[in-house]
Chain A
């Protein structure tokens, strides 16, 4: 059979007869006595989460006053106060519009997540990181959305846009459904159906060269992307055929039932917390190392139940309260964002791995769409990282710059995650300077 690859021949060999049962885990994969590292010597793998919520925080009310260590967050970030030791706050950073027209709430997320305000089709940071650390897990990356929609601000290329899974019940099934293999189970039986599916996908892949030979450059890029996605599924099936390495902190997540999805802020928060818990468990169980979460859109249309106005409308239309000095309803929503982020971090912090926690080997990157939602300003854009990525980043720092491109943070995080990248961003947002204060 000329379509067969060596790998398919191997599978055929494995399948000649009944399914194989592998009873013993590999010695290499045992955890050390503390449960926080592999016995072979390396630490548990790093994880990365890109956590996005539009409309940011009110300028002047989130930044710490103290620069460096031992800072205290501003009042609108008080929900994160308990996490300051493991968090870095970046203030005073901005995006340069260069000659591009300001795309009100579009330039900000593109700049923070794609490194460019002019080219909205570049890959997002989660995908750049997944290309490095996501290739040996069941899911290369997982993308979720909390406001009922599937838009998520994650894309691998101009043509491959990742939909965010809006429904936690479906996310649960995707990760912990029948195809989930408990890494701590004593026995392991490869599923013959999975073997066959993997083999067939491999057969389709063999046709790639023939399919692309007559295509123009544009369609070729799209077909290449298609095959990359096919390979991601093939890779997932290959991993499902292996006995997974035991992970002491892995606990199968309790079943998640459907919840009401939508743009009422309580619904979005409830959805968010389920997603947070599922993603944390997925990472603890080695199912993925990269995730992207969107709480609300850049023009965040979350709202209170029964209210005429959405968060976005309030940012533009609510009068500034003269006594408070800011828009009161806007503060209500920005508190919701900060509280949700704190709950996300807690979900990671509560998974203990020996003396440490899942958060310690992760970096959670908070980003948003601008420095002042009311005026569409791209100055002083809030950015946070939480977690040290297995010691790759120092934490507990407030870094203030005077108008540096915010892409410095993304570049720093990518290098901390092991991505081989020397500079990131386009035009004036291009940088080769990491935030050295937080690099370990």
Chain B
């Protein structure tokens, strides 16, 4: 033993001494190249194969708190997301885990496991006592790990997986002379494993067809639950998966009805729209404190929540028309948002609900605001820290709401025609952009962004209403795909009526549900979803139902399954 250790230490010293020679390269450059080549096709979706998705931070936290209670502290940094085809959710199907990220997830997992098995909490989750606290107890460990494991992995553990986890608990418990420390190590190890961190889907031959494959019951349950609730399947859904209920039309419809009727549907709808509208960028949004002293962190948080409440109210509570999001006068405000919108907001705080600072509000007919594009959330996110940007706003509208790609600016371009804001010749953004558009190579793209963004110029970088820039009255006229308007209300109406608006929503929500863009073989299905969406008055909840009750949602063609 002593000899072995010394030899290893000598090896370390030798490696340090001649570091230029790679003694233990983890992967060769050739390995990396082949891995990259394999990954180069990511996102090119002419396949309908299932995608292995990494849990988002929201999903991770929700899964952990659903199992171990809302009081569990989840500290640490999650891996940054990657937006692919307009969605972070699609990006989760293209990423792995970097070394520093793995370290973070390991630390988060150990933090959670320590809380769960702390003397104060462990009795909530343990239904057995070890024979001795200072030694392993396989039977008791197995009982705990089996129950918790099924929730963490969203399916029962295989015999092999379970016995490995019991072995970990045994080995660690022996070494640390503590049953609970051993169990803690084993629990933490489950939460850094692929089966927990990634949503893996299993494919089996579909009943009654030779050429089709489909997801197994547990994979169906996860796909349903993460789409509709942005959470792992609950006990009832796992039981439905185990019993084969999800494989029958009647059984599936029953479970879909239950999920759509639940309050947690709101979580799913929020997560989808937060992703589609790029609200993750609120976390890094900052306005210059000198120029916009009123735009505090609270304003940003409330602005995001305002839009989310408007979405949930219109689409779920009222079962309204998706297009009305762009014209709706009804919204929700807090006193702090009221000060930004210059609207008096009195919260009527009923007894017992002092924390409810939100009040329903309807903009007056003559108010320039209508629709979510005029919310502080949209106009402040798509601005510079110190001033507005019609270009950024137009680009966001094209890309996020209409699913159209705006090309990157060209190389070797001369921008000098756009002077700084203090130039007396160009007082407004419109003046500056007009000057810029004299450059032929810029005009093409600016034409498809600026005219929409300019209609929102009444709203400053912090979202506050203004009528002039540098003393010059603003001209907010614009045009979208041939429809002219004079202000933000007109823009909202044009977006409402644009056929790309609803097509985009169907594309995004289907991609979100699948974790990838729809495949060529799914064109007919997507077309039918668009028709159903129109026929049902553009009700998002009905669209979600149409997606998850169609067998297409769970099927995989033979070539992909193999």
Q: Which of A54-62, A131-139, A332-340, A344-352 contacts B (4 or more CB under 8 A)?
A: A131-139
Given the interface pairs A157-B32, A224-B35, A228-B26, the reply to whether A136 lies near B171 with Cβ below 8 Å is no
Measured between C-beta atoms, what is the minimum distance from A161 to chain B in Å?
Answer: 6
Q: Is B443 an interface residue (CB 8 A)?
A: no
Known: A40-B17, A308-B387. Is A320-B99 also a contact (CB below 8 A)? no
Which residue of B has the minimal Cβ distance to A217? B38
Q: Which residues of B contact A104 (CB under 8 A)?
A: 408-411
Q: Which of B171, B176, B414 contacts A1 (CB 8 A)?
A: B171
Among the 9-residue stretches A71-79, A83-91, A118-126, the one with 4 or more Cβ atoms under 8 Å from chain B is A118-126
B447 within 8 A of A: no
In-complex Cβ contact of A306 among B189, B194, B290, B416 (8 A): B290
CA distance A97 to B27 in the complex (A): 30
Render B385-422 as a binary contact track against A, CB cut-off 8 A, 1 for contact.
11100000000000000000001111111111011110
Known interface pairs A121-B39, A148-B284, A163-B77. Does A377 touch B411 (Cβ–Cβ under 8 Å)? yes
Are A135 and B286 also in contact (CB < 8 A) when A163-B79, A222-B96 are? no
> Judging by beta carbons under 8 Å apart, are A203 and B21 in contact?
no
Chain A residues with CB below 8 A from B411, complex form: 97, 102, 104, 107, 375-378
B22 located at the interface, meaning its Cβ lies under 8 Å from any Cβ of chain A in the complex: yes
Contact (Cβ within 8 A) A317 B103: no
From residue B213, how far is it (CB to closest CB) to chain A in Å? 13
CA distance A223 to B195 in the complex (A): 11
Give the complex CA separation of A192 and B174 in angstroms. Answer: 11
Interface string of A92-126 (1 = CB under 8 A from B): 00000100011110110000000000010111000
A217 to B432, CA, bound (A): 50
Given A228-B26, A308-B384, A421-B29, do A303 and B288 touch, yes or no (CB 8 Å)?
yes
A45 to chain B: which residues have CB within 8 Å? 16-17, 19
Chain B residues within an 8 Å CB radius of A217:
38
Q: A165 vs B29: C-alpha distance in the bound complex, in angstroms? A: 26
Residues in chain B near residue A402, CB distance under 8 A? none
User: Which residues, 257 to 311 on A, are CB-close (under 8 Å) to B?
Assistant: 262-263, 286, 289, 301, 303, 305-310
Q: Report the count of interface residues on A (CB-CB < 8 A).
A: 119
A186 close to chain B: CB less than 8 A? no
Residue contact A200 to B186, C-beta cutoff 8 Å = yes
Chain A residue nearest in CB terms to B13:
A28
Assess the B40–A119 pair: CB atoms within 8 A. yes
State which residues 392-425 of A face B: CB under 8 Å.
392, 417-421
Contact call A219/B175, Cβ cutoff below 8 A? no
* Cα distance A142–B98 in the bound complex, in angstroms: 11
In angstroms, Cα B399 to Cα A35, docked, is 59
CA of A199 to CA of B189, assembled, Å:
11
Chain A neighbourhood of B52, CB < 8 A: 215, 219, 222
A20, B427: Cα distance in complex, Å = 74
Is A211 a contact partner of B32 (Cβ separation < 8 A)?
A: no
Return the contact of A233 from the options B4, B6, B10, B103 (Cβ within 8 A). B103
A343: Cβ under 8 A from any B Cβ: no
Q: Residues of B within 8 Å of A, CB-based: how many?
A: 90
For the complex, is B36 an interface residue (Cβ under 8 Å from A)?
A: yes
Whether B438 is near chain A, meaning CB under 8 Å from some CB there, is no
List A226-241 residues whose CB lies under 8 Å from chain B. 226, 228-233, 236, 239
Jot down 15 A-B pairs with beta carbons below 8 A, ordered by A: A1-B167, A26-B13, A102-B408, A121-B40, A133-B20, A133-B22, A157-B39, A160-B96, A220-B38, A225-B96, A229-B98, A263-B385, A317-B420, A319-B419, A376-B413
Interface residues of A (CB under 8 A from B): 1, 3, 10, 12-15, 26, 28-29, 38, 40-42, 45-46, 97, 101-104, 106-107, 119, 121-123, 128, 131-133, 135-136, 140-143, 148-151, 155-163, 165, 170, 174, 192-193, 195-197, 199-201, 203-204, 207, 210-211, 215-226, 228-233, 236, 239, 242-243, 245, 262-263, 286, 289, 301, 303, 305-310, 313-314, 316-320, 374-378, 392, 417-421
Q: A218-B38, A229-B97 are in contact. List 7 more A-B contacts (CB 8 A).
A: A28-B14, A199-B172, A217-B38, A223-B96, A308-B288, A320-B416, A376-B412
